[in-house]
Structure 1
C-alpha cells in the first residue's frame, strides 16, 4: 500500500477520562493550511476505518484542495486520499470544496460542498498520480517534497436545495444503516435547516427529500439520526462545542462537551461511540464519546439523550 504525502505520520490512540481521542503527531496539529472538517466510519480493505475530510486554503481563505484521511481504528495508521475532479478538457483538477461533512456507503463517499450540493467520489477506483500532477492536486504551489499521491475522482454532483454545509448518516432503531443522510446548513443565526434525503441507488438517480426541519440552533456543524433520536453539533468559537440531542422537536443540550471548534458527527454503532472532531490549530482532536456518557446505556437510539446520566 502506498503511503503518500507524509502519511507515515500516525495519530496516537489515547484514552482520556471516558473518551477515545486521536491526536495528530505532526504539522497537522497546528498547520493553518489544512483544516479537518467531516467524519464518518466505514470499512477500507476489510478493516474498520475512520474517514476524516480536510480542506486546504491559502492564508487569504481561498480554497485550494481537499482530501480524506483514512484511519485504521485498530492500528491507528492512516493514509491520505486526495479528492479530484475532471474538467471539461478531461484533465484532473483539485476538488476545491470545504468538505464540511462525509457520508460513507461502501465504495461511495459523499462530501458536502458548501453552496454546491453534495459531491460523490468512487473509492473503488483509487488512482496513483505522480510528480507535478500530484503536487497540483494537493493544492501545492511549490516544487519539491513528496511527489506521489492517491486520489479519488468525483463521479457526480448532486444538486440539493440547501446550503449543504454538512451531512451525516441515518440508522433505524435496531442499528441498521439506512440509505439516507441528513444534510444541514451552518448559519450564525437560528435559520439553519436540516433535511433528510434518500440517496440514489445508481449513478443516474437523484437525492430525494423526505423531511425537513429548522432546529433553531445557530452555528450547527453536523447532524446524525438513530431511530427517532437526533444528534446535532454546535460550535462556539474557541470554547467547547455543544451536543444537542433528543427527538427533533425537543432537542436539548447534552452535558457532555464536544471538542473546541467542533465540526461534523458520525455514529459508530459497532464500537458504541459518537465521533466528532475539532478544527482549530493546536486544539485538533478526533474524539469518540461512548454512548453510555450520552444517556444511552442500553445501546439504543431510543434513549432520551438529554439526561445527565453517565457511567
Structure 2
C-alpha cells in the first residue's frame, strides 16, 4: 500500500469513519434471481487492423518526437489524494482520489480502469517502464451535462518510490497527410480500457475498440487557446494545452449476425485466459440513450502468444445476462463480476457456483482484476459522480472469488 494511502486510512480509522466491516468480512452475499444463459459464440467476431495509421503516425513521431512512460511520470503535475472521508465498501484494501479540480469537474467523467499489472502481470512488481501505474480513462463534454467532445487517460503512480502524482494524456486520432500530419479529438465515452503489453484497448460503444500504443506518446506544444487541437502551422501542434497526446494506431471492429448490434460499454482483461471480456449497458425499459433489452457479455481471445488479436477472431464465450445498467465487468480464471450502477450491486457468477449479488458503491464504473503474488488479489474500480470520485481496490475473495 502506498505511504499516502496508508496514512489516510489510518486517520480515517482513528476517526471512526471506516466501519470494520468495510475492511474485513463479507458484505453479505445474496443469491441472484437469475443466471446468465449461454449464447452461440459463432455469432460474434472481431476484425483487427493494427496498421491503420502507420504512415501518419510515423510522420507525427518524426515531427513531434515521443516521450516514454517514465518521462511522462517524471513530469507528472497533478497530486492525487486519499479516499474521501467516510468512504466505505466491504473488503476495502486501498485507494485514492484525484485532485479537487478533477474530483469536481462537471464536464469530465472517469470511466475505465486498468493497471500495469494488466499490462505485464506481477513480474517486477507490476512495473511498466519502471513504474507501477493505475490508468483511468475519461470523457469530456462540451458543457456540464453536454455532448461528448474528447477523451483522455490519466497515468497515476502507484509506487511508494515515486511521488503521489498523475499526468493527463489526450487521446487523438491521426489526420492530415504524411507531409503535414495532424490529429483530432476522439469524442467517445471511453467506458472501458484494457492495457496488455504495450497496447491500450479503449472501448468505443458503437464500433468495438480503438487501439493505442503506449510506446508512442507524442510531445505537443502548450499554449494557444483551450479549444485548439492539431497542427497549427509548421511544427506547432496544440492539444487543448495538454503536453502529451496518445495517437490511435488501429481499430478492432465488432461484427455480429445477431439482430442487435453490440454496445461496447465496458471491457476488462483476463490475463489467465489471455482474453478481453466486454459487456453492455442496457435498460429493462424506458431508456432513450441506451438499448432496452437484456445485455450480453462476450470473451474474445488474443492471438496465441501475442498481445494483439488475429486479423479475425471469434468469441470463445458468449452470455445473455439477467442484470441491467452494467458499467463494469471483470473475469479471471473462469469467474465473472458485473457491476450494476443502477442497482448498486456487484454480481458474481461462475458456471458451477451460479450467481450471487453483493452490495456495491453508487456511481460505480469499470473493474480491473489485480493479480498479486504476495498478497490477496484485488478488484480495482472507481466512481464517476462529481465530488465522489474514489478509485479503490477491494479483496476479490470478499465478492465470491475465493
TM value normalised by structure 1: 0.81
Contact in 2 for aligned 1:94/1:136 (Cα 8 Å) = no
Contact 2:73 2:157 in 1 (8 A): no
- Aligned partner (choices 56, 60, 66) of residue 140 of structure 2: 56
Q: Does 1:128 align with 2:202?
A: no
1:226 Cα shift? Answer: 1.2
Closer/same/farther in 2, CA of residues 290 and 66 from structure 1, 3 Å limit: same
**Matched ranges for 1:162-311 at <5 A:** 162-172=262-272, 178-189=273-284, 191-200=294-303, 201=306, 202=308, 205-236=311-342, 241-248=344-351, 250-255=354-359, 257=360, 259-270=361-372, 272-296=377-401, 303=402
Deviations 1:116-156 (A, max 9, x none): 21000010111111144985359xxxxx9983411111111
Give the Cα–Cα distance (whole angstroms) in 2 for the partners of residues 264 and 293 of structure 1: 18
Cα distance in 1 for partners of 2:129, 2:227 equals: 26
The offset of 1:203, in angstroms, is 7.7
Task: Give the match's secondary structure for 1:223.
Answer: strand
Distance 1:63 1:252, change over 3 A: same
- CA offset digits 1:11-46 (Å, max 9, x no partner): 124596652121122211111111000001114322
Report the CA distance shift for 1:207/1:27 in structure 2 as closer, same or farther (over 3 A): farther
The size of the alignment, in residue pairs, is 281
CA contact 2:295–2:320 (8 Å) conserved in 1: yes
Query: How does the TM-score come out when normalised to structure 2?
Result: 0.64
In structure 2, the residue corresponding to 1:218 is in which secondary structure? coil
Q: Deviations over 1:180-228 (max 9, x none)?
A: 1101111012511111001344587244311210111100111111112
| Equivalent position to 2:202, from 111, 130, 136 | 111
* Higher mean displacement: 123-132 or 287-296: 287-296
With over 3 angstroms needed to count, the CA separation of the structure-2 counterparts of 1:155 and 1:107, relative to structure 1, is same
- d(CA) in 1 for partners of 2:251, 2:244: 21
Structure 2 portions without partners, runs of 5+? 1-70, 117-126, 231-237, 256-261, 285-292
C-alpha displacement of 1:56:
0.5
The structure richer in strand per residue is 1
Q: Does 1:78 align with 2:184?
A: no
Distance 1:288 1:8 in 2: 24
Measure, in 2, the Cα distance between the counterparts of 1:39 and 1:206. Answer: 26
